[in-house]
Amino acid sequence: MLLTTRAYYCEKCGTPMQRAIPPGENALRDVCPKCGYIRYFNPIPVVGTVATYEDKVLLARRAIEPRYGCWTLPGGFMEINETLANGAVRETIEETNAKVSIIDLFTVFDSCSSNNISFFYRARLDSPEFSPTSESLEVRLFAEDEIPWEQLSFQTVRLTLQAFFEDRKKGSFTVHRFSI
């Protein structure tokens, strides 16, 4: 059943895409009326780390939008041909020039209102060496009482840090799942 036409073209044959419910499906999709290609829009994985050295957490002040100038855990979009953990390590290096070792998966976020799913890993800084990159204005280690809570970039960062400090006080870390 044809409902609307989209303003872009099929990536397989170049025909203008149309909005329709394909046979056997129950939701509107972008469908090519010529070759039948269906374009699905799926969430993009975001990966990052809660990297620690001694009792402090590594944060970066963003040099890019969104949330330019706010503090964040190192993280970003996963790329093709990498695992979640490999992506988290790569993003940590890209934003902080820090080398880390992954410990374990720590937080998982799903959201019906955004196009992202987020995964943060606990990680250990291999050494206290780090520096800003083109993606960060400043990089710093913070003790819990120094965290700039009012200047954090995203809800995922705030909830991950809160869960981290709560688990650390308990002396045991678990995987936390959030729907936001």
pLDDT of residue 113: 76
95 SS3 class: helix
Mean pLDDT of the chain: 94
pLDDT, tens only, 47-87: 999 999 999 999 999 999 999 999 999 999 999 999 999 99
pLDDT of residue 6: 47
Q: Which domains does the chain have, with CATH numbers?
A: 2-39 (2.20.70.10), 44-179 (3.90.79.10)
Non-local CB neighbours of 23 within 8 Å, separated by 6+ positions: none
